[in-house]
Structure 1
């Protein structure tokens, strides 16, 4: 049924009959929606004091790139290294990780193209694979696979390039080249070329990607010497070490014993069940993606236990929802859009996911939690990677209600899982399609 003019006339008359609507229209036409809808009384009552807090070595800045998951992961590892080396300030190279993530993603993409070469080019699966050849985003399992294979590197030995900090153009060109490569490989399969011929061609194509990455990011060192002064002024030199050796010697955090735990309450996913996602990953031959889905209270309790024991917690969330960016506040009540528009927003966490209104967009690190007298969390302290000009010198405040609605994944040490959880973890995971919301990657900038 089409819209009739009489319908529009009625809508207009009803709108103009409310002074509140006119005031709202005038206010919104001259300012940001977030500014107009700011819940001032609520915002000014938020305290940034936490009962339990872990000191970290400052805020990093991913700039105009989607490497939040990588920054968050490296920020966890740097604390372990800095403690062992007795350093006040320390940062790991995100460019080093980015180089190998891109080449691994390129290989993963081309392998996926070969595997699906006989699928319809216009089908949903192939179109999905072609849509995101080498995006910046990633997941905890992708981070750990990278670190296990390539180790880590002090940042001063491979600093940021312009392209790593502002990656859109590089990514666009890489995507175009890889889609061309996909066309070549699909044609080879169509013509009945041998596996050996296809693999030989793929190696050629990967060398081209390696050249493009090297020009944009620089060549990562295979071995390095590292000189530094500790916080007591003592000079040290580490000679002829590889990034993998450096990782194994100085990172004491049990990264290989960390588990990705999710809270996804949609009807198609059972709690106390493991899941993986088709065609989501970077390192062929790595452990890949595996989630353990838990109820919200169990999920939250694991994050709380980690922090209370002095452990930082890597997590993903939908950061674009109810966020005051400048003040660094994540709170379900920070804006009163319902009063502004005279409507209700009815989605809960499950329906928000099911109807495409939410997904994992950003990875950060929990560094603190505020516990009330009954032992319940009231708010969480968050280390972000958007520089130190936002929030409290780069740290964000998250209300517990925001955690409930928009936090989807935390990486926890397996030792914190119950016996029943550990048993479930050994089960073969259910495969989710690539377009499932749990197949999203953290990429926000």
Structure 2
């Protein structure tokens, strides 16, 4: 106790990140973040090296739309028991384990595919990976929210984001390094990419082990009452409880403010997601090697991701979610302008380092604030369904719009394309401002009463 008393207050506060449940969320965040880059991000680098056109790469990004429609099957995670595993592991862990195994198998299957010979097969496998990964995200989010009280959600969000972003960097920089390591020489080598993806498949093991060793969280799910009658009547009763009730609950709690909230969720990540679709193709076209992109991402990307995630959690505790949400939106749009400048500068490792560092820092701050914001909107009675609805809406418009990014680059060039994506961040700033003012007005009215 004396030692703790003599330590700086901020250092004592870091103890929360070493609690068992926070560490578990960190690893599960890693497990969630790993497939995201493999389903498209680094895959676009592979496709571009394999001489797939930018337009096709843009359309290929639509496989990630699975993340944007995951709310369609998210009620199953709340209400459907997986045979055999449910009784042994519980609802959340049984769903987690099943989805994690599917992700690992899908990654390894992509590793055995040649995009030059069968691009359609690779696209189909990428769709399978995206659906398995989205299912894992649904259950990790529900597991995270149900694992602790609201007071710990900021720490859990920061741990989740740190694990998530580290996995994204490993899946991008690590895969690029491995692909270069396993290649016979510079340039495109199919075997190098295939071996790299097989290694990434093995990286799902920590998440699987954590799922098996974790405790099943106490769920706030509303138990569905037993319904007598025909199969159709029971099905309709289940749909009402599992699908309709979560949506009704959200609109009842937020009333007409719900429309503004949903609009903000829909466009908050528009700027960085649309830009990100073409990022790896941009690196290839600018002449950066796999090793160079991997080195910069691994060193400076990791540092800035950790700083951004930690800083986001600290700022939220100090200034509240809305202010940090606004700051994150500004930073995310501003870093796109740095990409535009890089396209004008040309091949320059120092500029690449600056751009990737700034991009990861802003993403860390913005994403930690956004995760905390979405978590605050959830009713624990419908954890998986409501959070999946929010996180799906978050990606629906950006992912759909990003599918046209290859065409826009061909028409506008990289510099103007990045400027255009920066302007896509303006609507989010306007909506955050409106919601902040409405929140103050509502609070003042309540205080007056």
Q: TM-score, normalised by structure 1?
A: 0.29
The structure that is helix-richer by fraction is 2
The structure that is strand-richer by fraction is 1
Q: TM-score, normalised by structure 2?
A: 0.29
